[in-house]
């Protein structure tokens, strides 16, 4: 599974919260068994990728920031070469940064 | 990577432990600025940690098995403690707020170590007695106003070894 596919799936799960496969299937129209395979690393079809990206864009106003996704994924890969604590800290600072950006936009 | 609870999320969760609250009340309890608080609330609702009904935010106790493990996660708590302590150090060095920090390196004979352990236990008892007093005579406890204390002791060697192992 490519970096973009992984990031798309990760964002989808992050934004929708923990749900059952059936609930995800209802939300997206993607079959339950396909979702199971995707979550276990199977390659995404282009149509599935488009469905998830559109869902994110419509539901959470999450524009498709391709450059940002690739950059984050490369940062994650680089972070894999440092300690676990550092990776956790890095991830937390990114999330905090997103909160601060969202709150500035909303203010 | 497993998600950990951020401190700004933790303060919201703690503010809702005893009961549900309206937005204004949460602003008062957390001290978070309105738009940041709303962003956190939105995220926690998405994650199923909170529910929102008739203007009241509450912890999602019906589905606590889904989010409580994340809230109680040890790795998360470990990094939160580090962040809070790091923030305390910054406050001291920037001379901000009313924070206090003492760091001492001192050689202790065995009986002096015992004395120190006893005195640290006295701090525990003092704080426990306050908690018990609150159950009898509750007071309004704003989450943001709680005093955050750190106290602990270790040998210098163990601390240095710990740092080396973590690198």
What secondary structure, in 3-state letters, does chain A show?
CCHHHHHHHHHHHHHHCCCCHHHHHHHHCCCHHHHHHHHCCCCCCHHHHHHHHHHHHHHHCCCCCHHHHHHHHHHHHHHCCCCHHHHHHHHHHHHHHHHHHHHHHHC
To the nearest whole angstrom, how far is the Cα of B145 from the nearest Cα of chain A?
22
B88 and B35 in a common domain: yes
Residue B112 has pLDDT above 60, yes or no: yes
Instruction: Work out the pLDDT band at A41, boundaries 50, 70, 90.
Output: confident
Residue B107 pLDDT:
96
Q: What is the mean pLDDT of residues B57-74?
A: 93
Within 8 A by CB and 6+ apart from A3, the residues are A69, A70, A73, A74
- Cα separation, B137 vs B165, whole angstroms: 46
B125 and B90 in a common domain: no
Give tens-digit pLDDT for B136-160. 999 999 999 999 999 999 999 999 9
Please report the ipTM that was assigned to this predicted complex: 0.80
Residue A63 pLDDT:
52
Mutation site, A103, A104, A107, interface B, largest B CB count within 10 A: A103
The answer to whether the Cβ–Cβ distance between A102 and B39 falls below 8 Å is yes
Give the nearest chain B residue to A59 (CA atoms): B46
Residue B9 pLDDT:
97
Instruction: Work out the pLDDT band at A39, boundaries 50, 70, 90.
Output: confident
Residue A13 pLDDT:
86
Give the total number of structural domains in chain B: 2
3-class secondary structure, B90: helix
Residue A62: its chain B contacts at CB < 8 A? none
Residue A101 pLDDT:
87
Give the nearest chain B residue to A82 (CA atoms): B167
Of B96, B121, B149, the residue that ends a domain is B96
- Cα separation, A74 vs A2, whole angstroms: 12
Element (H, E) at B153: none
Percent of chain A with pLDDT over 90: 3
The answer to whether the Cβ–Cβ distance between A18 and B8 falls below 8 Å is no
Mean model confidence pLDDT for chain A: 80
Of B56, B80, B96, the residue that ends a domain is B96
Mean model confidence pLDDT for chain B: 93
The answer to whether the Cβ–Cβ distance between B6 and A92 falls below 8 Å is yes
Q: What is the mean pLDDT of residues A72-94?
A: 73
B143 and B90 in a common domain: no
Residue A64 pLDDT:
58
3-class secondary structure, B57: strand
Instruction: Work out the pLDDT band at B51, boundaries 50, 70, 90.
Output: very high
Residue A91 has pLDDT above 80, yes or no: yes
Among the partner residues A18, A91, A96, nearest to B66 by beta-carbon distance:
A18
Residue B100 has pLDDT above 70, yes or no: yes
CATH number of the structural domain spanning residue B59: 1.10.10.10
B128 and B92 in a common domain: no
The answer to whether the Cβ–Cβ distance between A95 and B33 falls below 8 Å is no
B148 and B128 in a common domain: yes
B108 and B79 in a common domain: no
The answer to whether the Cβ–Cβ distance between B47 and A85 falls below 8 Å is no
- Cα separation, A38 vs A44, whole angstroms: 7
B3 and B84 in a common domain: yes
B106 and B35 in a common domain: no
To the nearest whole angstrom, how far is the Cα of A87 from the nearest Cα of chain B?
9
- Cα separation, A78 vs A75, whole angstroms: 5
Residue B18 has pLDDT above 70, yes or no: yes
B89 and B43 in a common domain: yes
Give the nearest chain A residue to B165 (CA atoms): A83
- Cα separation, B50 vs B45, whole angstroms: 5
The answer to whether the Cβ–Cβ distance between A88 and B167 falls below 8 Å is no
**Residues in B lying within 8 Å of A, measured between beta carbons:** 1, 3-4, 6, 8, 33-36, 38-40, 43, 46-48, 66-67, 75, 79, 83, 166-167
Residue A96 has pLDDT above 60, yes or no: yes
Among the partner residues A15, A99, A104, nearest to B8 by beta-carbon distance:
A99
B89 and B7 in a common domain: yes
B134 and B72 in a common domain: no
Question: Encoding tokens for residue A65?
Answer: 């920031």
Domain ranges, residue B44: 1-96
Question: Encoding tokens for residue B154?
Answer: 């270790």
Give tens-digit pLDDT for A5-36. 888 888 888 888 888 888 899 888 899 899 98
Element (H, E) at B6: none
């Amino acid at each position: 599974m490519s970096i973009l596919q992984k990031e798309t799936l990760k964002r989808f799960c992050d934004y929708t919260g923990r749900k059952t496969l059936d609930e995800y299937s209802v939300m997206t129209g993607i079959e339950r068994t396909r979702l199971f395979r995707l979550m276990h690393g199977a390659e995404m079809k282009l149509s599935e990728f488009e469905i998830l990206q559109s869902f994110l864009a419509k539901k959470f106003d999450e524009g498709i920031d391709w450059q940002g996704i690739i950059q984050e994924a490369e940062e994650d890969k680089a972070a894999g070469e440092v300690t676990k604590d550092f990776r956790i800290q890095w991830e937390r600072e990114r999330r905090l940064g997103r909160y601060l950006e969202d709150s500035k936009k909303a203010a | 990577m497993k998600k950990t609870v951020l401190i700004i999320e933790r303060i919201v969760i703690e503010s809702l432990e005893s009961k549900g609250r309206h937005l204004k009340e949460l602003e008062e309890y957390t001290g978070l600025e309105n738009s940041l608080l709303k962003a956190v609330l939105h995220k926690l609702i998405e994650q199923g940690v909170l529910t929102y009904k008739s203007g009241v935010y509450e912890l999602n106790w019906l589905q606590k098995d889904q989010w409580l493990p994340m809230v109680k996660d040890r790795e998360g708590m470990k990094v939160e403690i580090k962040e809070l302590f790091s923030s305390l150090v910054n406050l001291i060095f920037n001379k901000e707020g009313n924070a206090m920090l003492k760091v001492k390196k001192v050689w202790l004979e065995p009986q002096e170590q015992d004395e120190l352990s006893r005195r640290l236990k006295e701090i525990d008892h003092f704080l426990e007695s306050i908690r018990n007093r609150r159950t009898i005579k509750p007071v309004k406890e704003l989450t943001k106003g709680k005093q955050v204390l750190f106290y602990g002791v270790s040998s210098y060697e163990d601390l240095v070894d710990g740092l080396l192992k973590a690198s």
